[in-house]
Structure 1
Amino acid sequence: MRDATLDVPSPLDGHRVDRLTTREDVTTTVLAAREALPAWAGTPAAGRGAALRAAADAVRARADELATAVAEETGRPFDSAREGVLAGVSTLEQYAELGPVHRGRSLLGSPDAADFMVPEPRGVVVALTPWNDPVAVACGLLGAALVTGNTAVHKPSERCPRTGALLGEVMAGHFPRGVLQTLDGDGEVGAALAASPHVDVVAHVGGTATGRSIAQACARTGAKALLENGGNDPLVVDGDVDPVWAAGQAALGAFTNAGQLCTSVERIYVHEAVAEEFVRALCEEARRWTAAAQPLVDRRMRDHVHAHVTEAVAEGAELLVGGEVPDGDGSYYPATVLMGCTATMRVMREETFGPVAPVRIVASFEEGLAEACVDEHGLAATVLTGSMANAQRAWRALPVGTVKVNAVFGGAPGGAAQPRRSSGTGFGYGPELLDEMTTVKVVHLGQAQIQPSSQARRAAS
């Protein structure tokens, strides 16, 4: 058991949003989840789905309150924060429907036997969730875990503890005691949860370094690690597209949520045939985004982003727009455009996670695609091209879990994501997440040979 005090500064003006004093006992919490597991796992699937649907209704009813907490703690504008909350509601509803029909399969065997595979809950799931879209991400992991019969312990980011605590309060009342619990705390609490021998799954969305530590902890305990770590997502712009439209797409990908999205555009490769117009339009976009700037989550994140920019300039990149820390309170940073970036610059080879668009001009689509493929991450990538041949070549070549063609964001409902390499492992969304949260038991049901006396007694009865 440990006491901790969490101060949450406002990204808008630096004042303290909240101070939470916590007294967390990781072992007691995890054991309570373990104790609640048999009864919850034995609850009919339809009953688990109904409970999750009720939780979704409760979250929707308090969407404004949750969005306000997100806005105050992370700096995300209220309307955007509310969209994130409602996206979480939609995910809960989706899993409430999919959970009861999640099924195994039968196997072909001999005529006198039955063989089948049955999905079962893995056990106690720990969900470690980020601050950049806290409600939507948490609802995905918790919804899939709970509807498949697992119990869950949720530790939200220490940058948005009030949001996490409120979400837990809203949802937990619709489940039996111990089925869903929330723990506030910093990285030490998360590390203790990941290292617990009583945990069966650790699901994490966040930075690569933390994800690697979790993977090591799970290797020691035997728990399953389900990880979406950082990304360094490229955007490749072909020479046949409208450069102004392409610049709008690039700005949307690089500057939305102040660049603080897992699948933000982190590096841009633009064909020389459209480069001049593209860069000019991208600079105009950057100025427009800065005029309605959203702050970074805190000054520590701003220092990280600014370090990437200043290092790139020192190494020869040209700063076209932004790149200066503004005066005043809060943690604002302008939308920034860099030209002449090289592969060795940190802004091109690491995740910046801020409103920065580093541009590299290439002589051909093939050159841009080849450079985009060179990276240790493997989360997502975007290609803008009017050529079906180039689109086909790109989605086959890019070593990432998700490739988007001609749109930096978007996708059909129920879409899945499976990161690669240092970006993580396992499906993080979609129906496939139900598979991640369950394990399969294979059953071979044969016929016993019955003693003659037993057969006679059965016939007489």
Structure 2
Amino acid sequence: MTSTDRTAVLEIRNPADDSLVGTVEATSFDGVKGALATAKRAAAGWAATPAAERGAAVKKAARMVRDQAGELAALIEAETGKPRSEAEEGVLAGVGTLEQYAELGPVHRGRSLLGDPRATDLMVPEPRGVVVALTPWNDPVAVACGLLGAALVTGNAVVHKPSERCPHTGHRLGAVLSRAFPEGVLQTVQGDGGIGAELAASRDVDLIAHVGGTVAGRSIAASAARTGAKALLENGGNDPLIVDTGVDVDWAAAQAATGAFANSGQICVAVERIYVHQEIAEAFLGALVKEAESRELAPLVDKRHRDGVHTQVTEALAQGAEPMFGGTLPEGPGAFYPATVLTGCTSAMRVMSEETFGPVAPVCVVPDFEQALERAADGEYGLAATVLTSSMTHAQRAWRELPVGTVKINNVFGGAPGGAAHPRGASGSGYGYGPELLDEMTQTKVVHLATPRL
């Protein structure tokens, strides 16, 4: 899409059967500039709105999304292939996040400082201004609601670009949410990476929040460095799973399969590489293959994405990996790909060193926990990691030594609500969730108010 191309169209096909879902006209570059100008004009009035009123608006938006949960889930299923029940769970998770920020926003506070008793010293959080939110396709409503809810309740005006792989979902979500806010406070634009780059490069933007791939994230960070905007990034991951000796192999295989195959592997914190202790490797692999055999997976988001997954698998096989199950393109329509188990994998293979984002479980057998920990810590990404172990010593070492934002011990998914971590390395920077996201969406001003001499 070029600066003179005002008729670019996003065509979306159902990844289950290749049928046409529909077309959405992309926003022109002039339209992007107009949306940012509108947001800038709306920002001052919204920032001056009392915090309780902003919270009430976000709560109203949550009710509206809940009322449209079925329609949004149907759109997610049609555009991304996520099963309807799982899609609706994601929508309702987004509703819960909006409700959370509706309550947290009005009590987000600064602090007073102890200075000269004849003066008042304060640290006051203020909105950043115009926030651009660039959100992904794999959980489009839940992720968007988190970023949008936190940005709006703290007094920012927002321009949201959903992924070009789910524009119908993004359009509908924006139409529902925007009715709860004054005109111009929340706008949705459509387009591919070119539109995202145009948004990120604008000097009218004060914060860019991006959840997506590392290549795009690095480009956004470079744009933010040029404009002075803050970049809040959750980017790719290559999350390891360590399977230590002494654990039940069937349980460990079920954990590994859930981590690698849930949502067809299209989860930011999916298990991307597995290191298993040699003492239990044979039994674990056998159990993991049984898990793969029993899984009927939804399609990947589209054939272009499936081709990328399959390329990594075929490269690994050419480099000496052994196929235990799957790894072949199925016949027929749609973007389906089987649960795949590979063994004999090495760090030289892209399936181990890069994010695959598909239902692939590449396994490396290691002689001991020490080597598993060393290999799991290797690489440029630092999003999350999981360790299955019966040893408290190994568990303590794992969470202290693994250079990632989130470490999960003996549970591949789960954890208390409200947790927020800093991703490391190529996986991004800044809090993307939890109450701490309100801090990211605001900037702190220090005020020293002294008594005048009369």
- TM bucket normalised to smaller: over 0.9
2:130 alignment partner in structure 1: 124
2:210 alignment partner in structure 1: 204
Q: Which amino acid aligns with 2:406?
A: T
Any runs of at least 4 consecutive aligned residues in structure 1 with deviations exceeding 6 A, and if so which?
A: none
Asked if 1:258 is matched to 2:277, the reply is: no
Distance 1:283 1:177 in 2: 54
1:154-182 C-alpha deviation (Å, 9 max, x unpaired)? 00000000000000011100000000000
Distance 2:27 2:377 in 1: 46
1:273-300 C-alpha deviation (Å, 9 max, x unpaired)? 21111100100101111xx221000011
2:322 alignment partner in structure 1: 318
Identify which of 80, 87, 95 aligns with 1:81: 87
| Aligned positions of 1:132-171 closer than 5 A | 132-171=138-177
2:294 alignment partner in structure 1: 288
Q: Which has the larger radius of gyration?
A: 1
- Number of residue pairs matched by the alignment: 448
Asked if 1:347 is matched to 2:333, the reply is: no
Residue 23 (structure 1) shift: 4.1
Distance 2:118 2:390 in 1: 58
Q: Which sections of structure 1, spanning at least 5 residues, go unmatched? A: 451-461
| Aligned positions of 1:174-253 closer than 5 A | 174-253=180-259
Identity of aligned residues (%): 65
Asked if 1:435 is matched to 2:434, the reply is: no
Asked if 1:397 is matched to 2:401, the reply is: yes
Cα RMSD after superposing both structures? 0.8
Residue 3 (structure 1) shift: 2.6
Q: Which amino acid aligns with 2:388?
A: L
Residue 361 (structure 1) shift: 0.7
Distance 1:211 1:126 in 2: 13
1:445 alignment partner in structure 2: 449
Residue 417 (structure 1) shift: 2.6
1:424 alignment partner in structure 2: 428
Distance 1:184 1:53 in 2: 25
Asked if 1:69 is matched to 2:68, the reply is: no
Distance 1:305 1:429 in 2: 28
Residue 21 (structure 1) shift: 2.1
Counterpart secondary structure, 1:213 = helix
Distance 1:413 1:230 in 2: 22
Distance 2:20 2:40 in 1: 36
Is contact 2:25–2:190 with CA below 8 Å preserved after alignment?
Answer: no
Distance 2:374 2:153 in 1: 42
1:386 alignment partner in structure 2: 390
Q: Which amino acid aligns with 2:412?
A: V
TM-score (normalised: structure 1): 0.96
Counterpart secondary structure, 1:72 = helix
Distance 2:242 2:26 in 1: 46
Counterpart secondary structure, 2:426 = helix
| Aligned positions of 1:42-61 closer than 5 A | 42-61=48-67
Distance 1:394 1:320 in 2: 28
Residue 260 (structure 1) shift: 0.4
Is contact 2:27–2:189 with CA below 8 Å preserved after alignment?
Answer: no
Distance 1:411 1:40 in 2: 35
1:21 alignment partner in structure 2: 25
Distance 2:427 2:127 in 1: 26
Distance 2:419 2:400 in 1: 18
Distance 2:399 2:134 in 1: 31
Q: Which amino acid aligns with 1:164?
A: G
| Aligned positions of 1:33-48 closer than 5 A | 33-48=39-54
Q: Which sections of structure 2, spanning at least 5 residues, go unmatched? A: none
Q: Which amino acid aligns with 2:302?
A: D
Distance 1:407 1:332 in 2: 27
Residue 112 (structure 1) shift: 0.9
